[in-house]
């Protein structure tokens, strides 16, 4: 594994990018199998939308229904506020502006948008553990290696951001309850990952009313669309779907491990929405799969790591196995 670059100089790499991949390796984007993200490939079935969801400004009742559903789903203590927003990324971009710039500790490797946002807001990024940081960002579970943090491991001082974008695969490990007793903490939730509807652009911020209120002012009114309010409410209320989905994801993650290990890869970590493998030569493996129009995720700080999301239908599983064979 290569040394980690200074975070402010590292490329802001992401999953996706099928258009660019198709330009290089050919094929229409619809013919590509995108395994570069950690998005559930079997999304929540879209419900019928109420009249006016597309044509009227989102109303207070629909917003309140979504917040109530989120509170129930994540068992949010009543002392904490819940803010729906147009994707967790919109909150990530604005969070650093809630406090005066200082030093923020962000342990690497992790999702790079946090450091990019803090850096853009004038913060100094610290990537080695230290007690002098004014703020800390922890991704729980971490992307890309799936590391989990415990309530006991959380810093006792300073401002804390907990990114739980992938935590819905294991809700019992959420640290929402820890926020109640720890001031100056905000938790991020992503809707697009677990429910597989990333294009809906829906996320949530949970925390103390004063901090969440300041973020609400920055995001502005009508931030979440009428369709997103309705779909998010229905999905968060459907606990049966969520339970069945967790079981399916766990089964499919184990299947992906078997497929990749059979091809010579070594499991490094991950969640049941994405798996991280040591494949020896990440560039060669990514290009091998890209030649079959299968897109994966590699990282600028590692020569050997490759991250894969889950295939969806059986044809996609067969396609992956054939490309690896």
- Residue 206's CB is within 10 A of a number of other CB atoms, namely 24
- The reported pLDDT for the residue numbered 8 is 40
What Rg do the C-alpha atoms of the chain give, in angstroms?
A: 20
Q: Residue 319, class by beta-carbon neighbours within 10 Å (0-12 exposed, 13-18 middle, 19+ buried)? A: middle
C-alpha 249: how far from its chain's center?
16
Q: Can you tell me the distance from the alpha carbon of 68 to that of 134, in angstroms, rounded to the nearest whole number?
A: 32
- The reported pLDDT for the residue numbered 181 is 79
Residues of the chain with CATH 3.40.640.10: 60-238
Looking up tokens 């597989």 gives 196
pLDDT tens-digit series, residues 119-165 = 999 999 998 876 789 999 999 999 999 999 999 989 988 999 999 99
Tell which CATH architecture fits domain 60-238. 3-Layer(aba) Sandwich (3.40)
- For residue 277 the two structure tokens come to 């493998």
Task: Return the SS3 of 268.
Answer: strand
- The reported pLDDT for the residue numbered 1 is 37
Q: How many CA atoms lie within 13 A of 19 on its CB side?
A: 0
Looking up tokens 């929540």 gives 44
Domain 7-42+240-324 CATH assignment equals 3.30.365.10: no
Task: Return the SS3 of 251.
Answer: helix
Q: Can you tell me the distance from the alpha carbon of 264 to that of 257, in angstroms, rounded to the nearest whole number?
A: 10
Length of the chain equals 325
Residues of the chain with CATH 3.90.1150.10: 7-42+240-324
Q: Can you tell me the distance from the alpha carbon of 278 to that of 269, in angstroms, rounded to the nearest whole number?
A: 10
Q: Can you tell me the distance from the alpha carbon of 100 to that of 1, in angstroms, rounded to the nearest whole number?
A: 35
46, 94, 296: which is closest to 214 by C-alpha? 94
- For residue 299 the two structure tokens come to 């990282």
Could you tell me which residues are beta bridge partners of residue 33? Answer: 294
324, 166, 165: which is closest to 256 by C-alpha? 324
Task: Return the SS3 of 307.
Answer: strand
Pairing of strands 103-105, 124-126: parallel
Q: Can you tell me the distance from the alpha carbon of 232 to that of 248, in angstroms, rounded to the nearest whole number?
A: 21
Give every residue of the chain whose pLDDT is below 70, as ranges: 1-14, 130
68, 127, 118: which is closest to 97 by C-alpha? 118
- The reported pLDDT for the residue numbered 14 is 66
């Amino acid at each position: 594994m290569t040394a980690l670059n200074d975070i402010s100089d590292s490329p802001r790499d992401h999953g996706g990018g099928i258009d660019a991949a198709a330009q290089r390796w050919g094929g229409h984007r619809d013919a590509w199998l995108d395994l570069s993200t950690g998005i559930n490939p079997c999304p929540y079935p879209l419900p019928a939308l109420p009249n006016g969801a597309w044509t009227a400004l989102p109303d207070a009742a629909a917003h309140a229904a979504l917040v109530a559903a989120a509170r129930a789903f994540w068992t949010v203590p009543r002392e904490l506020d819940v803010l729906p927003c147009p994707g967790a990324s919109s909150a990530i971009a604005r969070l650093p502006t809630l406090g005066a710039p200082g030093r923020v500790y962000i342990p690497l490797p992790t999702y790079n948008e946090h450091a990019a946002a803090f850096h853009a807001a004038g913060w100094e990024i610290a990537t080695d553990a230290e007690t002098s940081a004014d703020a800390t960002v922890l991704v729980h579970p971490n992307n890309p290696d799936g590391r989990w943090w415990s309530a006991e491991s959380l810093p006792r001082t300073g401002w804390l951001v907990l990114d739980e974008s992938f935590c819905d695969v294991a809700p019992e490990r959420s640290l929402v309850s820890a926020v109640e007793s720890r001031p100056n903490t905000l938790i991020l939730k992503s809707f697009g990952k677990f429910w597989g509807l990333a294009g809906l652009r829906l996320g949530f911020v949970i925390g103390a009313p004063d901090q969440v209120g300041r973020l609400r002012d920055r995001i502005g009114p009508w931030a979440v669309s009428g369709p997103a309010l309705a779909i998010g409410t229905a999905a968060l209320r459907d606990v049966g779907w969520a339970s069945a989905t967790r079981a399916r994801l766990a089964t499919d993650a184990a299947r992906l491990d078997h497929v990749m290990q059979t091809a010579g890869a070594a499991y490094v970590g991950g969640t049941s929405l994405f798996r991280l493998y040591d494949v020896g030569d990440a560039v060669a493996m990514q290009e091998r799969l890209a030649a079959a129009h299968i897109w994966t995720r590699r990282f600028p700080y590692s020569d050997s790591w490759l991250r894969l999301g889950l295939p969806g239908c059986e044809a996609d599983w067969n396609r992956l196995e054939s490309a690896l064979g």
